[in-house]
Each structure stands twice: as C-alpha cells, then as structure tokens.
Structure 1
Amino acid sequence: MKKNSFLFSAKGIFMATFLSINAMVDAQQTADISTISEKTLSSILEKNRTYSTQGKVADYIPELGKMDAKAIAFSVVDQNGKVFNTGDVHKKFTMQSISKIIALMVAVRERGEADVFAKMGYFGSEKPFNHFSNLETTGKPLNPMMNAGAIYTTSLISGAGEQAFIKVLDMVRYITKNQNIDYSKSVYESEKSTGHRNRGMFYLMKNNGLISGNEDQLDNYFKQCSIELTAEDLAKIGYFFAHQCVRFDGDSKYKSAEVAKLIESQMLTAGMYEFSGEYSRMVGLPSKSGVGGGIAVSVPGKMGIGVFSPALDQHGNSLAGYHMILDLVKQYNLSIF
C-alpha cells in the first residue's frame, strides 16, 4: 500500500508539474503577442517575398492582370487597436471576394440571418469560387462566399440602382475609418465586360426565382468587388469581426456578437475557396481572400491581419500572403484550435 501511495503521489506531482509548465508556456505565448512590431512583420515579409515570383497574377479580369506581381504588404491591428505596417502598405488593390463578408453583414443586418439563408446554404465546397455547384439542379447557392451566393446576397440588399453597392462601400469606409476609399471604375468595367460566367449564375438564380431584379443587382456585385483599399484597411476589417463588430478605435455602433460569429464562421468554412479545409488545419483562423491579392484575417478577441501580394496560387489565394500569415500564426500560436 505504501508503495502504491508513493506511486500515486509521484504521479500527482508529475501531473501538477506538467500542467504548471504548460500553463507557463501558454502564458508566455499569450504575452508574446504584445511583442509584435513592425520589425517582426518586416522579418516575416522578407522571408516570404520570394513566393511572389512563384504565383501568378489573375488575368481572367484583364485589368487585374496589370498588377505588379512583386508588390507585397503586411499589416496587423493589435488587441489595443494599434496599427503595424510593413512593405507596400500604401499600394491599393481591389477587394474582390473580400467584399463578400461586408455584403453579407449588410444583408443580414437588414433582413435577418434566417431570411438571408432561407435559400442559401452554410456549406463549404471543394469547388472553385466561380463554380456553378448545384445551381442547375436545386438553384440554391452553397454559401455566401462563392460567387453565386455572393451575387445572391448582394441582390438581397434593399435599394434601387446602385444603392446596395453604396451601402457596402459605406460600411467598408466606416470599418476602416477611411472615407477616401472608393471603387476602381476601370476594374469595374473590366469585370462587367468579361463577367459572363457570373452573369450566367445571376440568370440561373433569376430563372429559379431567387432573384427578381435586373442586372443592376449584378452591377452592384461587380462594383463591390472593385472597391480599392490597402493591407492596413484589411487588417482593420479583420479586427472588426474579431471584436464583435467593434471598430479598431473602439466605436461600437454596429456591435453584434452574433453577426461577428456568422461572418467568422463563414470565413473559416469557405473564405479561402476550395483551399479552406487545408487552410483551417494549417492556419486555423477565419480568413477571406480575394483574387486582387489580399487576405483579411480575424484572430477572435485579439487582432486583425491584412496581407497583400497579387501573385496567386492555383486556388486564387495570395501565395506570399498565405505564407506570411502562416509564419505569424506559428510564431505567436494564434490558431483558434
């Protein structure tokens, strides 16, 4: 009995020590977040700059093909709303699919989540962002992050003409506290003139009774994708949803834990196109990419991250951007898992 008592006691001491060490390590990792600096970001950026030569700038929209493949930027808004920037942080690029999370927020605020998702799923997909998925059979978009679901979401925002687009633009300006943000008319025209696949989705949904309006609604989608901003603006968007829709300066006008949960869950499930599953495993953070080269990332309750590099991988995600995010996540143990 004495021997067993000793063994149990020794095991207890070992477990207590093990848990104590783990707690110390976790505490150290949490404390490390406060050491993030522009020097940190610069080091990570330079390490991953070479990836910009391995990807390919999107050219299926001709105007996007003019982007400088070597441009690269990295931005973080920390827990206190402080901004850290490195690289080509003044370089503007278009939101493209990142605009989908803003349109979803606007639509849900107007109509409620149940109404918005009555004819749209919460599903992920192994298909590319511009895949028709099951539109030709059920007529129901898989999720609001693929093009079909995003076109449908934007069509739900009230207002005639370009009012839906203006609401999305105004929300981007509010979240970033940047009234100078506007859309690129040249990218918009380029998207509109070549967007026949999106036009096909629009009319399939119209045929199935999901959409009742005219092509003004599709134009609003093209315009929201053409909104120009910087990596810093993306980091502020990431911060916004990471903090229950509270702006980086503390403005809580749109505060909503439920809206933030919805947006972040969709970012995690489908925000990186068909790469989302692997991305969730490797990075483990709600993120939304765009073929303009940007990625907005939310670290729930902590910070926002914005990256930009227009050279894309085969999924349409920024190649250097992904690796910068991955290195930051590993260095500071930021994954939610």
Structure 2
Amino acid sequence: MSKNVFLPSAKAICIAAFLSLNTVVYAQKTADISTISEKTLSSILEKNRSYYTEGKVADYIPELGKMDAQAIAFSVVDKNGKIHNAGDVHKKFTMQSISKIIALMIVVSEKGEANVFDKMGYFGTDKPFNHFSNLETTGKPLNPMMNAGAILTTSLISGEGEKPFLKILDMVRYITKNHAIDYNKSVYESEKSTGHRNRGMFYLMKNNGLISGNEEQLDNYFRQCSIELTAEDLAKIGYFFANQCVRFDGDSTYKNEEVAKLIQSQMLIAGMYEFSGEYARTVGLPSKSGVGGGIAVSVPGKMGIGVFSPALDQHGNSSAGYHMILDFVKQYDLSLF
C-alpha cells in the first residue's frame, strides 16, 4: 500500500460523525423555531387548559376575585416581531407584579443601577411575594421583584404626585404600541382599601430612611399594579427585554443592553417568587408573573411569550400559564440551560 494513502482512524471517524450529527440537530432546532404558529399555540393551550382546576383566582383583592377562572390565552412574538395568538387574547387583566420590571427599568435609567441597588439587594428568596423578608433586620428589601422592593422602586422614580405612575403607564403603552392601555380604577380602589400589608412595608422603609415621601407614592404602586392589558401585550414586553430593550417593530429608542440584562437577571432569580429556583430548573427563562394571572417571558435574543389564566397555584403563579410555558419551552428547546 502506498504511504500517501490516508486512512482515518476510528477516533477521527467518530468525531466527524459526532460533529455532523450535532450540525443536523442544531439545524433542526433552528427550523423548529421557525415553525411556530397559532396552530402550535392552540395545541399547547388546549392540552393545558384544564390546569385551571388546580388553581384558585386571587380573592384577597376583592376585584380580582371576579375574574373568570376558565379564561386562558397564549401569545408569542417571534424573533422577527411577528405575533402569534391563541385563546382569549382580547381578554384584559391587570399587570399586578409584572409592572415591577417596567418600574425598575425607569428608575435605573433615571438614577443609575448603583444608586438604586444601594437601597435593596439582588437576592432571590424562598419567601412569598408579600413577605416582609429582612425589612425588620437589615432594613433593606431583598430584591425589586418582591412587594417591598417594588414599592421602594416606584417611590424612587422622579416626579411629584401621579407623575411616577404616568411614566410607568406611558412606558407600557410604548413597549406594547398600544395607547389604549389604562389602569382599572375599580381594581386600584380595591387594592388601596385592602393593601394594609403593603402599607406596613411602606412605613417600615420610611422608618428606615429609604422612603421620604407620603402615601401618594404607595398609591402609585397600587395604580401600576392595576394597569390592564392582554397576553399579547405581555409577549411584547417579554420580547422588549429579550432584545436589549428594542420594541417588537424594531424601534430602538430605549435600546440598552445593560438594562435588559439587569431586568432579565432579576426575572430569572426572583420573578416567580419562591418558585423561582424550581422554575429556573424546569423552564430556565427570565419570567415575571402577576396575581392577575399573567406571566411575561423573555427568551434572550429571540422572542417574547405572554400567557394568561387567572387561577393561581400556591405560589401565586398562573397554574395553566406555567404548564403552557413549560410545554412550549420543551418543544422548542428554549431553556437557557
């Protein structure tokens, strides 16, 4: 046999086969994402619709208790900004805690991250969203996603009276390109009249020197939680933070890679409250839930997801919403991990 004839080793053949296989698998994953359609979403929605029976509509805020437990919606804004919807996509519900990520974006843009987080932590938690956490010990909220930190966040936004709330409302309208969005005054009044636990947090932080204003600042927090939108609007919000604060239609007015990273990191470690750790293991994406039944999800660099189903699990997260997201993420291999 000639010395110039090349015979690959068994190891080289295995490596070549492995690389070839992974190229095919990668191509398939890319193709799969491009096949997202309303039919896909409808299929996942119908599969998980019945999970509402395992949850309960929030009634500690009386107005929220009036929501239809069987309402359900699923929306995705893909990489190209195309919108895919399924279910009750025109059904409005209140943002509740999802508004916290908008408020955080605004105050960090105004005051700077270092100044804001000097007054609160970056920590996750194993406690419910309305827990006092370490307010009575270290005096500072654990993070801006729990109620205490979110109340402080809103109080730090510049402006007198309703101005901080109006900044949040305007930003939600901008991100969603939906100028009809407003807050539900009945829900606001209901939250205000029953929000004694939040009031306690407000005054503890005021006592600790973190808040210097009056209850008008707390009223702004109640108002922002009462902003009404749809699952499609949530998907647009998810897309916005997934794509460096660029809107789904390509508008880059607020483009800011660092702010987007901050928001998504907080969503990942604390956006689903005490379920955040397990959620990071199962879904593996930055997400923010609200007790109105919505969840906004960012798939970094790719897409935004919005779900709605008002029946909540024991953690205060949408039961059917979580399972829709889980199935969708598994089908398209979207987890960061």
- Asked whether the two chains share a fold, i.e. TM above 0.5, the reply is yes
After TM superposition, the structure 1 = structure 2 runs for residues 153-302 of structure 1, keeping only pairs within 5 Å, are: 153-302=153-302
Q: Runs of 4 or more off by more than 2 Å in structure 1?
A: none
Deviation at 1:16, TM superposition (A): 2.2
TM-score, with length taken from structure 2: 0.97
**Residue 94 of structure 1: aligned partner:** 94
Residues in 2 aligned to 1:8 and 1:156: alpha-carbon distance in whole angstroms? 66
**Residue 117 of structure 1: aligned partner:** 117
Are 1:45 and 2:45 matched, yes or no? yes
**Per-residue CA shift, 1:80-135, capped at 9, x if unaligned?**
00000010000000000000000000000100101110110000000000000000
Residues in 2 aligned to 1:63 and 1:8: alpha-carbon distance in whole angstroms? 72
**Residue 81 of structure 1: aligned partner:** 81
Q: Which amino acid aligns with 1:190?
A: S
Query: What's the secondary structure of 2:9's corresponding residue?
Result: helix
RMSD: 1.1
**Residue 3 of structure 1: aligned partner:** none
Residues in 1 aligned to 2:27 and 2:279: alpha-carbon distance in whole angstroms? 26
Residues in 1 aligned to 2:112 and 2:7: alpha-carbon distance in whole angstroms? 59
Q: Which amino acid aligns with 1:35?
A: T
**Residue 150 of structure 1: aligned partner:** 150
Task: Give the total of aligned pairs.
Answer: 332
Deviation at 1:8, TM superposition (A): 8.9
Residues in 2 aligned to 1:175 and 1:223: alpha-carbon distance in whole angstroms? 18
Deviation at 1:336, TM superposition (A): 1.1
Query: What's the secondary structure of 1:205's corresponding residue?
Result: helix
**Residue 62 of structure 1: aligned partner:** 62
Q: Which amino acid aligns with 1:177?
A: K
TM-score, with length taken from structure 1: 0.97
Deviation at 1:15, TM superposition (A): 2.2
Residues in 2 aligned to 1:279 and 1:332: alpha-carbon distance in whole angstroms? 17
Residues in 1 aligned to 2:8 and 2:263: alpha-carbon distance in whole angstroms? 48
Unaligned runs of 5+ in 2: 1-5
Q: Which amino acid aligns with 1:214?
A: N
Q: Which amino acid aligns with 1:147?
A: N
Deviation at 1:255, TM superposition (A): 0.2
Deviation at 1:7, TM superposition (A): 12
Unaligned runs of 5+ in 1: 1-5
Residues in 1 aligned to 2:334 and 2:27: alpha-carbon distance in whole angstroms? 13
Deviation at 1:53, TM superposition (A): 1.6
**Residue 3 of structure 2: aligned partner:** none
Distance 1:140-1:8 versus aligned 2 partners, 3 A rule: farther
Q: Which amino acid aligns with 1:280?
A: A
**Residue 136 of structure 2: aligned partner:** 136
**Residue 307 of structure 1: aligned partner:** 307
Residues in 1 aligned to 2:324 and 2:17: alpha-carbon distance in whole angstroms? 35
Are 1:321 and 2:321 matched, yes or no? yes
